Amino acid sequence: MAFTISFHKSSVLTSTVKILKRSLNTTRVLANKQMTVRDALNSAMDDEMERDERVFILGEEVAMYDGAYKVSRGLYKKYGEKRVIDTPITEIGFAGIAVGAAMAGLRPICEFMTFNFSLQAIDHVINSAAKTFYMSAGMVNVPIVFRGPNGAAAGVAAQHSQCFGAWYSQCPGLKVISPYSSEDARGLLKAAIRDPDPVVFLENELLYGNQYPITDEVLDKDFVLPIGKAKIERKGDHITFVAHSKGVELALDAAKELSSVGIETEVINLRSLRPLDINTIIQSVVRTNHIISIEQGWPYAGIGSEIAAQIMESEAFYHLDAPVIRVTGADVPMPYTKSLEIAALPQINNIVDAAKKLLGV
């Protein structure tokens, strides 16, 4: 049965003045510096290794090769083989070793070449890292960061194109971060390394080379962002988009397009998937009365599903003028076929269409 939503006309176009004011916000950039996400991650690890002798990196190709995606570039030269450790291609082995080292007081950064391979090691992420603190009644906390690129890259087919945001976020005991910009990457990775609990840090290969404006404050060695707090990337009153990682880029692009037809979108960059900053989402929905979640991961029991459920169980439900809608990856394994790959992932027009439908325009 087709899912038809009876969209009532909401007062989208009533406040033109306000809209114009809002759109000015998006042109605020002009920060003095730019930094790629890759460099942001690299500098975050460098800072934290300098700050704390217990911090070390291990993973495949992290040392002499400078990282499969060059995220750890230069660190082996600077810190040597004790602190930047190349491992064999044996995920459950090195992930387990990393967790054991964390139990015994070190601060490992365990790099998965991509998170697809973390499946080989998921027992250590879940059973060894996430649950030990609870099982030991608060004795053995596990300060570890599992990081690496997550989600769909380009043309790499089903086994290498999966978002693990929902998988890891489901597990209590873990903190799960999914950054978008360079500021996110730097501030949140530094926070993750300093955090005394296990953190899953989901990067995106397609964002590594992107440059984002960055301020002197962000470059400060003591700069950290709070884990569990979302960022409003764009203010708007008509509809809320909530997204993470690559989804934020899509959301912002869609918002720009909608703005040209007078629809002002609030874009929430989740930054953390667990804890989920539901309060920021609720506050936004209370104003906009419409929300769409955007993610590249699968729809079934996804991040959007969780957001929808939490909205239903909150005050925000009474402020909705339309149902919560999810724009997600299609419910299929990722095809290699170029045209199908595009169709399997949310595109700007999918988001724009969904928003218009929701707003009845």
Partner 1 sequence: MNGFSILRKHSFKNVLPLYESRFFSSTPAEATFETKPFKLHKLENGPSPTVTLSSEDAIKYYKQMQTIRRMETAAGNLYKEKIVRGFCHLYSGQEACAVGMKAMFRDTDSIITAYRAHGWTYLMGVDPFNVLSELTGHKSGSSRGKGGSMHMYAKNFYGGNGIVGAQVPLGTGIALAAKYSGTGGVCFTLYGDGAANQGQVFEAFNIAKLLDIPCVYVCENNGYGMGTSSSRASASVAYYTRGDYIPGIWVDGMDILAVREAARFAIDYCSSGKGPLVLETETYRYSGHSMSDPGTSYRTRDEVQEVRQTRDPITSFKEKIIGANLVNIDELTKIDSEIKAQIDDAVKRAKADTEIPLSELAGDVYSKPLETTIRGVSPFQSLEHMNIGPAVNLR
State the residues that interact with partner 1 by CB under 8 A.
54, 56, 82, 85, 87-88, 90, 92-106, 108, 123-124, 127-128, 132-143, 172-173, 175, 195-197, 226-228, 275, 313
Q: Which is nearer to partner 1, 81 or 331 (CB)?
A: 81
Q: Which is nearer to partner 1, 129 or 354 (CB)?
A: 129
- The minimum distance between CB 331 and partner 1, in angstroms, equals 26
Question: Using alpha carbons only, how large is the chain's radius of gyration in Å?
Answer: 21
Q: Read off the amino acid at residue 286.
A: V
The DSSP string of 181-229 is SHHHHHHHHHHHHH-SS-EEEEE-GGGTT-EEEE-HHHHSTT--PPTT-
- The minimum distance between CB 75 and partner 1, in angstroms, equals 16
3-state secondary structure of 344: helix
Q: Which is nearer to partner 1, 96 or 302 (CB)?
A: 96
- The minimum distance between CB 108 and partner 1, in angstroms, equals 8
Most distant CA pair in the chain, distance:
63
Task: Count the alpha carbons within 13 Å of 72 in the hemisphere toward its beta carbon.
Answer: 33
Q: Which of 48, 60, 81, 91 is catalytic?
A: 91
Token pair 């960061």: residue: 145
The region that residue 179 occupies, defined by phi over 0 for left and psi between -120 and 50 for alpha, beta otherwise, is beta
Q: Read off the amino acid at residue 72.
A: S
Q: Which is nearer to partner 1, 169 or 259 (CB)?
A: 169
- The minimum distance between CB 19 and partner 1, in angstroms, equals 35
Q: Which is nearer to partner 1, 210 or 305 (CB)?
A: 305
244 noted as active-site residue: no
290 noted as active-site residue: no
Q: Which of 61, 160, 319, 341 is catalytic?
A: 160
Q: Measuring CA to CA, how many Å separate 43 from each of 72, 178, 226?
A: 9, 18, 18
Q: Measuring CA to CA, how many Å separate 295 from each of 157, 212, 247?
A: 18, 20, 5
Residue of 142, 176, 190 whose CA lies nearest to 46 = 190
- The minimum distance between CB 279 and partner 1, in angstroms, equals 10
- Active-site annotation, residues: 91, 160
